Structure 1
């Protein structure tokens, strides 16, 4: 597996980008077909997923080592950020706050507050960020999102370290 990753890094990056697009499509399915409304942290995770998809896709376009390593590093940073947000949401689901109230939605926060004030409000979490509306094999959406972001980060890190050595 590591040998394949080393010989075809562009294919691995394209596969990561395609997996991100599939996850985004599944999130839209859950929202529009199943009827689950995303909380502010879910929306931030979607933006991180879009970032990973774009940067991994751009990294897979050209064979030049500097090109794919630069965009691969950006994809790694976005996947780390997405993993952080998903881990925070999982923490809120496992240990919900005592006073869980449904706060403003993501866009309402951005519209009514400054950016520097709305970002801490997102990570503080609201009542709907601590709710578990859907599970698969005992894990919530946030748990699965963390696992996916962590796998992307590990694969990207291995690609970048092995690409640097080569």
Structure 2
């Protein structure tokens, strides 16, 4: 299986991109059909997922090694960032704050505060980020998001390491 990483990097990158798009579609389904409202950390994870999808799609677009390795590295960085945010949200769900406040939504924070004040507010979390509204096999959306970002990170890291050796 590891040989496949070296022989078909563009296919793997396209598969990662398609998986990201499927995850985004599922998130929109949960929001618009099921009625779950995303918290600020969920929105940040969506943006990280969009970035991973775009960077892996761009990486798979051309066969030039420098091209796909550069965009693959950017996708790896965004995947690691998404895993960090998902891990933080999972931690908030396992150890909720003593008092839960609903706080502002993501767009309200960006519109009313400077970016230097809004970014820390997003990562502080709120009562909404600590709530578990949906679960599958005992894991919340944040838990599954962390697993997916971690898998993307491992796949991209293996791909980049195999490409570097070649």
Q: Normalising to structure 2: TM-score of the pair?
A: 0.99
- Tell me which residue corresponds to 2:162: 162
Separation in structure 2 between the aligned mates of residue 97 and residue 117 of structure 1, nearest angstrom: 21
The 5 A counterparts of 1:37-116 are 37-116=37-116
Deviations 1:41-67 (A, max 9, x none): 000000000000000000001011000
- Tell me which residue corresponds to 1:124: 124
Deviations 1:84-132 (A, max 9, x none): 0000000000000001110000000001111000111111000000000
Separation in structure 1 between the aligned mates of residue 5 and residue 159 of structure 2, nearest angstrom: 7
Aligned length: 166
Q: Normalising to structure 1: TM-score of the pair?
A: 0.99
Task: Detail structure 1 runs of 4+ shifted over 2 Å in the superposition.
Answer: none
RMSD between superposed Cα atoms in Å? 0.4
How far residue 165 of structure 1 moved from its aligned partner, in angstroms, is 0.5
How far residue 6 of structure 1 moved from its aligned partner, in angstroms, is 1.0
Separation in structure 2 between the aligned mates of residue 79 and residue 118 of structure 1, nearest angstrom: 22
Extract unaligned runs of 5+ from structure 1: none
- Tell me which residue corresponds to 1:35: 35
Separation in structure 2 between the aligned mates of residue 74 and residue 60 of structure 1, nearest angstrom: 13
- Tell me which residue corresponds to 1:16: 16
Extract unaligned runs of 5+ from structure 2: none
